[in-house]
Chains A and B, each alone.
Chain A
Amino acid sequence: MQQSSRTSRSRRSVLTGLGALAAAGTLGTASSGCAAPSAAGADRTRLRFWHLFGGGDGVNMQTMLDAYRAEHPHIGLEAATLQWGAPYYTKLGMAGAGGRAPEVAALHLTRLPGFAPGRLLDPFDLGLLAEHGVRPQDFPEDIWRRGSVDGEQYAVPLDTHPLVLFYNLEICKKTGLLGDDGKLRPISGAREFTEALRAVKKTTGRPALAMETMGADTVGPWRLFAAFYSQTGGTVLDDTGTRITIDDAKALRVLEWMRSLVDEGLAIHRVDYQGGVGAFNTQRTAFLINGEWEVSTFLTTKIPFSMTRIPDLFGRASTFADCHTFVLPHQAGRGGASNEAAHAFVAWLLKHTVEWAKGGHVPAYLPTLEKPEYLELTPQSEYRSVLDDVALDPPAWFAGSASSMQIELGAVFSGVLTGSRSPQGGLAEAKRRLRKLLDTPNPFGGAA
């Protein structure tokens, strides 16, 4: 196919002058992404991979892809890094709708219900995966199960990326929060955590905690709420994603406590994502609550820090998380060598997730967690137990990473944290917006 289009182009360019110039212009741009495979000949299998990994993740993914390329010279891998968030999912959805999607793509597990498995996504061939050494029992059961719809596996998990607690070793030591082993002494209960923050404030004279309270399209406040609220045992929606199940008392307890931190000046009042990372990175705060993926930032700047699971503040030690997964976007004629290459590629990446774990993520492929190279990664392996205690967004089409729900509720809870809404008012508004989302028909025509 590729070969024939190239010959026809060159023939045309000999025959006609101006017309060929235009044709070469369009074909040139169309084939510029696959310069490598066409140069090496048509016997290479084309494998396109779309992902949204930027920053430190992007660097690690690139390392993995380079290694893959070196080992598989017969595969023409074309990886495209697209912008994280809503733009990525818009593009992926439209590509699947047109049936001209890439062979493999990354997807947040929580976005699966909205992505209309069966129409926008094709299922994995588990036999093919097993041939390449990847079986369902190699993954945490819950996470694997969430990747399946109607008995078909649509998402193969790559990692879990939870919200964690970063802490500055020097400030915590000065405040006396470290144990003999040099690690943060266990904290349990919201009151104890507040006390620790007060102690730090006394030492440094500054807010002790940075957490994302505002920003453009901010989802941070939702993540924080979701983490602490999950600790109370409360849920936002029922298992079918069709009914609001928020427990007002529990939700208010969490919101009021979060608000009290900014009111008392224990947490930075108004700070966006970058600002929070910056404050911790310049050692102005002792704590940062953020995704583990920021570990690359602090390892690069070599500040004295470590990280741990978010302590149990409201009854159990769960935290907000999501999972990156691999999916097969819908192609009109999926199959053949490129489809097999896609399965083999996914299996290969999963077996090399030690590299991926350097970016902070907890690999979902369980054999990786036992590898010595992984256990040697500190502080990354310190919180691997969190895999069993994560709260993912409820299974609804409007939920998940960078979804309508995260952005809408992020804005409401941002208002609670920055002071433009009361905890009660914020909760009422959050429920009103959830109801509106529930009343809106799923535009993708997916399951939930």
Chain B
Amino acid sequence: MTTTSAVPPAAPAAEARAGTTGPVRSVRHQWTEHGLLFTAPFLLVYALFLVWPLLYGVKMSLGDDNIAGTESEFIGLDNYAEALTDPNVWSSLWNTLWFTALSTVPLVVLGLVLALLAHELRVVQWLWRLSWFAPFLLPSGVVCLLWLWMIYPSDFGLADLLLGAAGLDPDIGWLSDTRYAMLSIVLTTVWWTVGFNFLLYLAGLQSIPQHLYEAAEIDGAGPWHRLWHITLPSLRRTTFVVLVLQLLASLKIFDQVYIMTGGGPDESTRPILQYVYQAGFTGYRIGYASAVSYVFFALIVVVSLVQLRLSRRASEENDR
């Protein structure tokens, strides 16, 4: 995300630096000192609550640490070796990736479609914006319990009522059947979080210069042409931002599953983060739980690097 936005401003800055010499450098130097002073509180918090735990986590993952505070021993990579052969790690990792795959596509596409609709529909525009963004304002606990108690229950849930009204067999175990549980969680998540992507897309749409459309119209381009050749290409950067943020958000799935199915039925929805939690806090093995989280961390780093690579290539193409 940072690189996509950092690329264009970097160019003028470089020109400025090439053009001028001495005095500019001293000003910049001063700024660095002030900058450090101002960012010190943040850096302190950052070091204390992010960098230190990160390093401490690595240390724990190399030992047989537990939460009962007994002396832990250094056991090298044993935890990692165990994690890589633990079927629970693989199955929960798979669940996480499956959820990410299932949720990212509709969240991105739907976010775009809703933004296009809200942008084009001139009537009661505020209502569309509000209703599509409103769910995102709710805390995850509220959203999950709403769906758990109102939509999905098998006897009186809204979902079964709708199916019944449509003449379909309403006896679906939304959250209790291994075939549907993950899909149900995806559905809830899409409803809950699509508003954020919608907002990003809406902002992207509003920043497309109007004269492009006017020129296109003069050249005789129809609405589909305009969408295809102006709107979508102009939204390319927004799409990458949305995609990166969405992938990372989806990979971090925990709340919805924890509240709605607890990882069940039969662990078919248990994500990797829940397994980390279980290994650490039910199984008391903090060392092992740390190792599993670092395995997951490695996966996220890989995903992010691939993303970065792709987005860089895309922005280069865009600049051409």
Given contacts A119-B70, A216-B258, A270-B177, contact A444 B284 (CB under 8 A): yes
When the two chains form their complex, are residues B268 and A420 in contact, meaning their CB atoms are under 8 A apart? yes
* Beta-carbon nearest neighbor of B279 in chain A: A404
When the two chains form their complex, are residues A414 and B281 in contact, meaning their CB atoms are under 8 A apart? no
CB distance from B263 to the nearest CB of A (A): 7
At the interface, yes or no: B32 with Cβ under 8 Å from chain A?
Answer: no
Residues of A within 8 A of B259 (CB): 216
Select which of A94, A270, A398 is within 8 A of B69 by beta carbon.
A94
Given contacts A97-B68, A116-B68, A420-B268, contact A216 B282 (CB under 8 A): no
Q: Which candidate, A17-25, A61-69, A85-93, A164-172, is the interface stretch facing chain B?
A: A85-93
When the two chains form their complex, are residues A87 and B281 in contact, meaning their CB atoms are under 8 A apart? yes
Given contacts A407-B278, A414-B265, contact A214 B176 (CB under 8 A): yes
B residues in contact (CB < 8 Å) with A:
64, 66-70, 154, 173, 176-178, 258-268, 278, 281-286
When the two chains form their complex, are residues A216 and B69 in contact, meaning their CB atoms are under 8 A apart? no
When the two chains form their complex, are residues A93 and B284 in contact, meaning their CB atoms are under 8 A apart? yes
When the two chains form their complex, are residues A404 and B68 in contact, meaning their CB atoms are under 8 A apart? no
When the two chains form their complex, are residues A218 and B281 in contact, meaning their CB atoms are under 8 A apart? no
Residues of A within 8 A of B281 (CB): 86-87, 90
When the two chains form their complex, are residues A94 and B176 in contact, meaning their CB atoms are under 8 A apart? no
At the interface, yes or no: A163 with Cβ under 8 Å from chain B?
Answer: no
A401-448 interface (Cβ within 8 A of B): 402-404, 407, 411-412, 414-415, 418, 420-421, 440-441, 443-445
Residues of A within 8 A of B67 (CB): 90, 93-94, 97, 443
A86-134 interface (Cβ within 8 A of B): 86-87, 90, 93-94, 96-98, 114, 116, 119-120
When the two chains form their complex, are residues A86 and B178 in contact, meaning their CB atoms are under 8 A apart? no
A-B contact pairs, 20 of them (CB 8 A): A86-B281, A93-B67, A214-B264, A216-B263, A216-B264, A217-B262, A270-B173, A402-B282, A411-B267, A414-B264, A414-B266, A418-B173, A418-B177, A418-B178, A420-B178, A420-B266, A443-B66, A443-B68, A443-B283, A444-B284
CB distance from A60 to the nearest CB of B (A): 27
When the two chains form their complex, are residues B283 and A444 in contact, meaning their CB atoms are under 8 A apart? no
At the interface, yes or no: A215 with Cβ under 8 Å from chain B?
Answer: yes
Residues of B within 8 A of A403 (CB): 282
CB distance from B106 to the nearest CB of A (A): 25
CB distance from A355 to the nearest CB of B (A): 32
Given contacts A270-B173, A270-B176, contact A86 B68 (CB under 8 A): no
Residues of B within 8 A of A94 (CB): 67-69
When the two chains form their complex, are residues A98 and B69 in contact, meaning their CB atoms are under 8 A apart? yes
Cα distance A218–B261 when bound, in Å? 10
Residues of A within 8 A of B154 (CB): 270
A374-417 interface (Cβ within 8 A of B): 398, 402-404, 407, 411-412, 414-415
Range of interface residues on chain A? 35 or more
Cα distance A212–B267 when bound, in Å? 16
Cα distance A411–B263 when bound, in Å? 9
Cα distance A445–B70 when bound, in Å? 7
A46-99 interface (Cβ within 8 A of B): 86-87, 90, 93-94, 96-98
When the two chains form their complex, are residues B68 and A445 in contact, meaning their CB atoms are under 8 A apart? yes
Select which of A214, A404, A412 is within 8 A of B283 by beta carbon.
A404
Residues of A within 8 A of B176 (CB): 214, 270, 272, 418
Given contacts A418-B176, A444-B68, contact A218 B264 (CB under 8 A): yes
* Beta-carbon nearest neighbor of B284 in chain A: A443
* Beta-carbon nearest neighbor of B283 in chain A: A404
Residues of B within 8 A of A87 (CB): 281
Cα distance A97–B178 when bound, in Å? 40
CB distance from A396 to the nearest CB of B (A): 13
Select which of B69, B263, B268, B286 is within 8 A of A217 by beta carbon.
B263
The 3 closest A-B CB pairs, nearest first, are: A216-B262, A97-B69, A415-B266
Residues of B within 8 A of A440 (CB): 283, 285
CB distance from A68 to the nearest CB of B (A): 30
Given contacts A119-B70, A120-B68, A270-B177, contact A421 B266 (CB under 8 A): yes
Residues of B within 8 A of A93 (CB): 67-68, 284
When the two chains form their complex, are residues A441 and B264 in contact, meaning their CB atoms are under 8 A apart? no
Cα distance A444–B261 when bound, in Å? 29
CB distance from B205 to the nearest CB of A (A): 40
When the two chains form their complex, are residues A215 and B264 in contact, meaning their CB atoms are under 8 A apart? yes
When the two chains form their complex, are residues B265 and A420 in contact, meaning their CB atoms are under 8 A apart? yes
Given contacts A86-B282, A97-B68, A418-B266, 17 further A-B contacts (CB under 8 A): A94-B67, A116-B70, A215-B264, A217-B263, A407-B278, A411-B264, A414-B265, A414-B266, A415-B265, A418-B176, A418-B177, A420-B266, A440-B285, A443-B66, A443-B68, A443-B284, A443-B285
Select which of B66, B68, B260, B266 is within 8 A of A411 by beta carbon.
B266
Given contacts A218-B262, A411-B264, A420-B268, contact A441 B64 (CB under 8 A): yes
